[in-house]
Each structure stands twice: as structure tokens, then as C-alpha cells.
Amino acid sequence: MITDFDAIVIGAGPAGATTAIRLAQAGWAVALVEKRDYPRRKVCGECIAATNLPLLDALGIGEAFRDIAGPELRRVGLFVGKRTIVAPLPPLDAGPYRWGRALGREHLDTLLLGRAAQVGASVWQPWTVKHEQRDGALHACDLVRTGGSDTMRLRAPILVRAHGSWEPEPDAQAAERAPHRGSDLLAFKGTYRDARIEPGLLPVLAFSGGYGGMVLGDHGLTTLAFCIRRDTLRAQRSRGPAGKAALAALDHVQAHCAGVRDALADATQAEDWLAAGPIQPGVHAPWRADGSFAVGNLAGEAHPILGEGISMAIQSAWLLCDRLLAQGAGQSPRQSSPARIEAIGRDYARRWRGHFASRIRIAAVCANLAMRPQAAGALLPVLQRFPGLLTLCARAAGKVRQPPDSPIGRITDTIHNGAQQR
Ligand SMILES: Cc1cc2nc3c(=O)[nH]c(=O)nc-3n(C[C@H](O)[C@H](O)[C@H](O)COP(=O)(O)OP(=O)(O)OC[C@H]3O[C@@H](n4cnc5c(N)ncnc54)[C@H](O)[C@@H]3O)c2cc1C
């Protein structure tokens, strides 16, 4: 069976669901394909910067988000060795929301997907895109029901890839997968009750061979999420009894960060550990030669040391939808020629780099410093003397207002002005 749409979006994380909501709100016929059943947990620190809260309002889930998210994140910390350094997080300088908050991905992603269905997107879940090809001017995606054998072909002139960067691409052959390297960063997440962490504090963890973060989120749960080099984890496992990789990784983190050890001293594990990776930091390809667009992690991924991935996922989707909706104004996407779609793609890729490439570079510098104890040790006296440098880092990483000439800045202004006039 073949079904035709204006756009197919692969993956319903924050990037894909945002794309589907905005295009469906503009009247497009959108198919949103997600291979997992929701709600589903995900490796993530789950902190959402304040810049996104007006966007969540515009998407229609702002109130639901605010009802359940954890406390406002007003302070940033650094846990390194025996030291803890704390500084204020910069507030967003305009609009109704000053501070970010944390919300479990099982809630955030479910809210976004539910909203996409509500505004008219056709949700295919749990279906996996297995294969893609061109069918004349259209993209054709072959889907298989996850865990089943039903198949389906969807076609559309616009294909938006939002399937993240930690899993093989549709059509990827086993032989194409990158070989394991000692420098690969594997990601873990643990969830705790009764952890001793100050509400509203966002500590960054720096330890030999990795980095991470901890935060009090929704329902009184604390999330501990971190990345650790494959060779560091292997060495740690070889020193202890055979057991779960996550527990060996946790031992390593606790041995190098007294702040984590103290916070978890009386805590109880609330959920199973999750693992993912290796992560793929770097600028990837917002626009591809096969005529498809990429948003979120697949377009480019920041080291998650500064917790900016969800922001970049939502904001890159926003940027793309702006380009698609503005340049296709008054015209059905089914009438767009491949040349016109390519022009939109090149424009989107250029703007994407302007917005996100520097954030990816700053996160890479911070991650590389955090993972090297000597570098972190040399910086410690400076940071202890000038903790405000942590505030500056958070600002440089994009935690606060976008430049006023950016489309996202303008959208935020429009939403703020609308809110003030109401
Ligand atoms: C340790 C760690 C901590 C982090 N902490 C934070 C933080 O505090 N704040 C923050 O903002 N970011 C954080 N991040 C980053 C954040 O998790 C990602 O940047 C974000 O999830 C990217 O969103 P996305 O929509 O691009 O992709 P994803 O969230 O990965 O979503 C992709 C979706 O596509 C689906 N999919 C994949 N393949 C297919 C297919 N073939 N067919 C159909 N569906 C498919 C998947 O099931 C998934 O639901 C962290 C990351 C790590 C590793």
C-alpha cells in the first residue's frame, strides 16, 4: 500500500515532533514515523534551556511542560575531584521565562508526539523506516511495523530526517558501521530518588575520561547522565568483578567526583540504568545530496556537557520549518521542483551553521577540558577565584537569548510581544 504526504518526518524525538507540529499547524499533510512505543525513557540529562520555553508555548505544550517539569535551574556547578564550585546561571534577559527546567524524556517526547497527532500529523508508531529511495520527484520510505512484519510505503516531496545520531541509519549495512575506538564516548543515565542535590542546581561533572551532569527533575527524581570513553570504561571493568557496564562506569564517576558520591549517599535507584552511543559530536549534514533535510542531532551534535541538545533539536526544526513555510508560501509543497527544494536546503544549511556551529565548537572545548584531569586541575584555581567564568561559559553555550537578528530570536520576540499584549 502507498500513501502520499507533503512531508515525511523520520523520528519523533524533540526535533522530529517539532517539525511535524509546525508543518501540520501550517496545513501540510505530514507523516511522523517513530519506531519506539511511547512513553519511552532515553539517555539524556533532560535539562531544557529557558530559550525553548516560548517555543514550547507556541507548539502548544508549554502549560503541560510547566505543570510537571522540575524546579527552575538558577545555578550552575562544577563537581571535579573533591571540589564543588557553584555560580549563578545567566537568566534569559527578556520574556516570561528566565530559567530552564528539567523534564524526563518519557514525558517531554510523549507530550510533543501527542500534540503532533492533535494538530493533524499522521503518526506511524511503532513503525521503523527501513529503506528509502527516490520515486521520480518524490522520496519513498519503506516502513516495517516494529517487531512485526506489516509493511507500508510512504511518499512525499519533502523528507526530514530526525532519527538522531546514535543508531544506524535506515539502509545502513553492518559493514558500514564505524569500528570501535578507545576514544568513543558511551552514554549512561541513572535515575534516583532522595538524592542530596540542591533544587535548581545544575552541576557539570568533570572526571578522567568523561563528563556529565546531575539535576533534580520532575516527580522528585534526580537524573545522573554522563559520557565515558570506551577505553576508560574498559580499564575500570578490568579492575573490578564482572558486572554491568553502567555500574562500573558509576564506580569510576563516584571515585573521581566527590559531589556525585555525596549526592547519592542515601539515594535509591528509581529506574533501570540506560546506555546509548557512541555519541557522534560534530557538525554533520543539515542538507544532504539526496535532497533530504536533517534536524536535531542528525544535523549536528554538541558534546552534551552543556545540555544543549534538546534546544538545538527544537531550534533547528524551527529554523527548517521557517524556511520551508516562507519559501513555499502560497504553494503546495507537492508543486515544488527539486531545484526549489535544493535552494531551500542550501539556505537552511547556511543558516544552520550560523546558529549552531559555534555552540558545537564551544561544547567540544569544554568537553575536552573536562575529560583531562590535568587541564581541569590547572583551571580549578582560576574557577575557584572567578566562579563567574562558569556563568560566562553557560552564556557562550547558548543558554540565554539568541542574537536579535536570528529568526529564532525574532520568533521568541513575537511570542513575547503577543504574551505581553494579552
Ligand atoms: C549523557 C547525555 C546527556 C544529555 N543531556 C542533555 C541535557 O541535559 N539537555 C539537552 O538539551 N540535551 C541533552 N542531551 C542531548 C539530547 O539527548 C539530544 O541532543 C536529543 O535527544 C536530540 O534530539 P533528536 O530529536 O535529534 O533525536 P532523538 O531524541 O535521538 O530522537 C530520534 C528518534 O528517532 C527514532 N528513530 C531512529 N531511527 C528510526 C527509524 N529508522 N525509523 C523511525 N524512527 C526512528 C528514535 O526511536 C528516536 O525516538 C544529552 C545527551 C547525552 C548523551
Q: Is 15 in the pocket of ligand 1 (CB under 6 A)?
A: yes
- Report pLDDT digits (tens) over 270-307: 999 999 999 999 999 999 999 999 999 999 999 999 88
Residue of the nearest CA to atom 41 in ligand 1? 129
Q: Which atom of ligand 1 is nearest to the CA of 36?
A: 47
Instruction: Compute, in angstroms, the gap from residue 254 CA to the centroid of ligand 1.
Output: 26
Residue of the nearest CA to atom 51 in ligand 1? 44
Burial category of 129 from C-beta neighbours within 10 Å (exposed 0-12, middle 13-18, buried 19 and up): buried
Instruction: Identify the pLDDT of residue 411.
Output: 56
Q: Is 33 in the pocket of ligand 1 (CB under 6 A)?
A: yes
Instruction: Compute, in angstroms, the gap from residue 354 CA to the centroid of ligand 1.
Output: 22
Higher pLDDT, 159 or 366: 159
Q: What are the start-end ranges of the H helices in 35-132?
A: 53-59, 62-68, 105-118
Higher pLDDT, 411 or 133: 133
Query: Which three cell numbers, joined as nine digits, stand for 182?
Result: 578507545
The answer to whether residue 52 scores a pLDDT higher than 80 is yes
Instruction: Compute, in angstroms, the gap from residue 151 CA to the centroid of ligand 1.
Output: 25
Half-sphere exposure of 22 (CA within 13 A, CB side): 25
Instruction: Compute, in angstroms, the gap from residue 154 CA to the centroid of ligand 1.
Output: 23
Instruction: Identify the pLDDT of residue 239.
Output: 85
Query: Which three cell numbers, joined as nine digits, stand for 374?
Result: 590535568
Please tell me the distance from the alpha carbon of residue 104 to that of residue 138, in angstroms, as a whole number.
36
Instruction: Identify the pLDDT of residue 104.
Output: 97
Q: Is 34 in the pocket of ligand 1 (CB under 6 A)?
A: yes
The answer to whether residue 416 scores a pLDDT higher than 60 is no
Instruction: Identify the pLDDT of residue 225.
Output: 98
User: Of 35, 188, 280, which is best to mutate to test ligand 1, by the most ligand atoms within 8 angstroms of its C-beta?
Assistant: 35
Q: Which atom of ligand 1 is nearest to the CA of 170?
A: 41
Please tell me the distance from the alpha carbon of residue 408 to that of residue 120, in angstroms, as a whole number.
24
pTM, rounded to two decimals: 0.93
Query: Which three cell numbers, joined as nine digits, stand for 194?
Result: 532522595
Residue of the nearest CA to atom 39 in ligand 1? 163
Q: Is 279 in the pocket of ligand 1 (CB under 6 A)?
A: yes
CATH number of 2-66+102-173+280-369: 3.50.50.60
Q: Which atom of ligand 1 is nearest to the CA of 277?
A: 53
Do 249 and 236 touch, CB atoms closer than 8 A?
A: yes
150: helix, strand or coil: coil
- Report pLDDT digits (tens) over 67-78: 999 999 999 998
Average pLDDT along the chain = 89
Burial category of 369 from C-beta neighbours within 10 Å (exposed 0-12, middle 13-18, buried 19 and up): middle
Please tell me the distance from the alpha carbon of residue 284 to that of residue 238, in angstroms, as a whole number.
34
Q: Is 46 in the pocket of ligand 1 (CB under 6 A)?
A: yes
- Report pLDDT digits (tens) over 242-263: 678 999 999 999 999 999 999 9
Give residue 171's pLDDT band: very low, low, confident or very high (50, 70, 90): confident
Residue of the nearest CA to atom 38 in ligand 1? 163
Give residue 93's pLDDT band: very low, low, confident or very high (50, 70, 90): confident
Please tell me the distance from the alpha carbon of residue 83 to that of residue 258, in angstroms, as a whole number.
7
Residue of the nearest CA to atom 37 in ligand 1? 163
Residue of the nearest CA to atom 16 in ligand 1? 309
202: helix, strand or coil: strand
- Report pLDDT digits (tens) over 195-229: 999 999 999 999 999 999 999 999 999 999 999 99
Q: Is 41 in the pocket of ligand 1 (CB under 6 A)?
A: no
